[in-house]
Amino acid sequence: MSMAPAVILVRPQLGVNIGAVARAMMNFGLTDLRLVRPRDGWPNVDAGPAASGADAVLDGARLFDSIAEACADLHLVFATAMLMRPITRRVVTPERAVSELKALGLADSLPGGLLFGPERTGLETADLAIAHAVCTIPTNPDFGSLNLAQAVVVFAYEWMRQQQTMPPEELMHYPGPAPMQELENLFVAIDEKLTENRYYSPAPGRPEAARLTLRNLLTRPQFTEGEVRTLRGVVRMLAAPRVTSAPTGGKR
């Protein structure tokens, strides 16, 4: 994993949000939390419970007097903002920001960071000027104001997504498809019962088409050997002669 970016909260207002940010960071493998003049000082009693166990991140949080000091050792910094105000600045998506931070870490182990503004107002224009570029989360234009921790989740998730080696799709605890012969036996068993029960229309070509449909339907799911056995049992029981319920006066 390349060097994870620092999360810098600028003048955060609520301790619960700082705690929720710590939790989200730790969920996705980020650890470097920096606080610039939190409104209610630091430490904040509300942060711990909201962190739900992400104490390592909270305990390691560092306090700074200015954005410049908080970013002093960082080589690439993105400011997150909704951009209501015009600004002459490079604006990127979270995907792009994270990939640039990742490339930097991979290439030279240079740390980078992400700036997040106060809950109510976001970063000010003067704050944005400190960052190399602005990053905007794509949101609903009519309801774009994200909770602070949820904005952090987007970046932290992007970080994890771009690191991950997990394939987009995998089968868990799947022993693989049954041998073809087992599937064939299942098909034959079903086919025999269906023929016996006059399932197939006698019209020319119809039985063949129906069998093809059935074969496709049974083959596509790649049933395991165990599943094919289960299906054999189900077919056998479905086709068994009806047991009349509570046969009164029957033998025994």
State the minimum distance, in angstroms, from the CB of residue 142 to a copy of itself.
Answer: 9
State the minimum distance, in angstroms, from the CB of residue 122 to a copy of itself.
Answer: 14
CA angle 50, 101, 168 (to 5 degrees): 75
- Residue (193 or 229) nearer to a copy of itself, CB: 229
The conformation of residue 15, written as its DSSP 8-state character, comes to H
Q: How many Cα atoms occupy the beta-carbon half-sphere of 78 within 13 Å?
A: 27
Q: Could you tell me which stretch among 60-68, 156-164, 195-203, 241-249 binds a copy of itself (CB under 8 A)?
A: 156-164
Place of tokens 């997990």: 166
Whether residue 31 contacts residue 25, with contact meaning beta carbons closer than 8 Å, is answered with: yes
51 φ/ψ angles, rounded to the nearest 5 degrees: -80, -15
Binding characters for a copy of itself, 163-202, by CB under 8 A (x = yes):
-x-xxxxxxxxx----------------------------
SS3 17: helix
Residue in 7, 10, 18, 24 binding a copy of itself, rule: CB under 8 A: 24
Tokens at 49, concatenated: 């419970």
Q: Report d(CA 34, CA 117) in Å as an integer.
A: 12
- Cβ-based neighbours of 106, under 8 Å, separated by 6 or more: 2
Does position 26 interact with a copy of itself (CB under 8 A)? The reply is yes
Tokens at 191, concatenated: 């086919």
Residue in 160, 189, 194, 210 binding a copy of itself, rule: CB under 8 A: 160
Report 91-150 residues binding a copy of itself (CB under 8 A): 91-96, 134, 136-140, 143-147, 149-150
- Residue (13 or 63) nearer to a copy of itself, CB: 13
Does position 20 interact with a copy of itself (CB under 8 A)? The reply is yes
Q: Which residues bind a copy of itself (CB under 8 A)?
A: 20, 23-24, 26-29, 52-54, 83, 86-96, 134, 136-140, 143-147, 149-150, 153-154, 157, 160-161, 164, 166-174, 224
